[in-house]
Structure 1
């Protein structure tokens, strides 16, 4: 039964009031759910963009310090090179014993140190890029959980070790988890990059930058690196190469950015 009222004044049924009340409750609950979802997404974004960077950078810094302490405690003149020192890819000519142009006799005979067979994914070198203020560990492998998500640079299995003829190739995150390679596009030809191992320090000079190529462009990792997608980029002659790769554009993994360097010098690591 409808409620009575004065003529000309709207009369609202009880059922209408209940329906309006239900709609308000539904809208309120929906609003709370949206706020909750928004807060969760915000926390996830903060975790990815801030927390993972913080944790990875701190962990990478601790690992660099630990490696330096370990190397300082060892005698580089008696330390035996690990099994990987022989290289995992046959060296392209000139032979590894020849050394880079201008190398002294001591430099030519100095061993290139790589990870042991039992130390897969373990950090064994330190990558330093002065222009970027970057100093991070290098570990064997390019797995996310074991290497890249720790803020390390990962060594592509099957490519050479530092100081050896061929291609020493590394990968690193551009965003999140320490993002060590975020600013690779800032590098310019002639910038120096150092790779320090237990026994020696290898200095490379940036030579070429490939702004974008396919994520499956395996040519950039060959002993004589040359893009299979954009063959104008790369090399035709054997040499001593360093390759740095990361995702591009930022916050995507669709393409790869590639930086190539050539070995300038190698010297025994100073204690």
Structure 2
């Protein structure tokens, strides 16, 4: 993409995504701004989901289009690095989630540049971080949460991008 430097393109070319088993995927995540289209599987284990090139759905969080928080994790570096550039998402960028029954469109509206790796409050039904000043939401809604490691090449902290559901189209 024109936004990528030559070094970014070389790293992306050498970081080949594993070939996910599409029978394990139950949704497709599409982020037009990042030219990303990746399968979503249940769970966030490294060996069972993330290291196989999927974006993983946090168990216990809602499914797409449901009230609450549909929370996903993805690698930023290695294993296809689907969330490598989520730090580039800006307010109003769209994120689509396609399931067998519908396509859900979320609009990005907030980014938390860094929180503790163990900060599970960012994936609660009303997502809100424990960092100060507090980031997140105060009221119930239809949320999408994307999480990945930060800074790059480490797993010390988490980068979080939040969005709100703006449309649902039956398939």
Structure 2 counterparts to residues 207-218 of structure 1, below 5 A: 207-218=109-120
Tell me how far apart the structure 1 counterparts of residues 92 and 155 of structure 2 sit (CA, whole Å).
27
Tell me how far apart the structure 1 counterparts of residues 133 and 123 of structure 2 sit (CA, whole Å).
13
Give the TM-score normalised by the residue count of structure 1: 0.57
Unaligned runs of 5+ in 1: 1-48, 68-121
Q: How many residues align?
A: 161
1:268 match? 170
1:130 match? 32
Check whether the contact 1:138–1:153 (CA below 8 A) recurs between aligned residues: yes
Alignment RMSD (CA, Å) = 1.7
Structure 2 counterparts to residues 1-271 of structure 1, below 5 A: 53-56=15-18, 59-60=19-20, 63=22, 122-269=24-171
1:232 is displaced (CA, Å) by: 2.4
Check whether the contact 2:61–2:125 (CA below 8 A) recurs between aligned residues: yes
Larger fraction in strand:
2
1:228 is displaced (CA, Å) by: 1.4
1:242 is displaced (CA, Å) by: 0.1
1:109 match? none
Structure 1 outlier segments of 4+, above 6 Å: none
1:50 is displaced (CA, Å) by: 6.9
Tell me how far apart the structure 1 counterparts of residues 86 and 140 of structure 2 sit (CA, whole Å).
24
Unaligned runs of 5+ in 2: 1-11
Tell me how far apart the structure 2 counterparts of residues 136 and 242 of structure 1 sit (CA, whole Å).
16
Structure number with bigger Rg = 1
Check whether the contact 1:213–1:230 (CA below 8 A) recurs between aligned residues: no
Check whether the contact 1:203–1:265 (CA below 8 A) recurs between aligned residues: yes
**Structure with bigger RCO (C-alpha 8 Å, 6+ apart):** 2
Check whether the contact 2:115–2:158 (CA below 8 A) recurs between aligned residues: yes
Tell me how far apart the structure 1 counterparts of residues 141 and 133 of structure 2 sit (CA, whole Å).
18
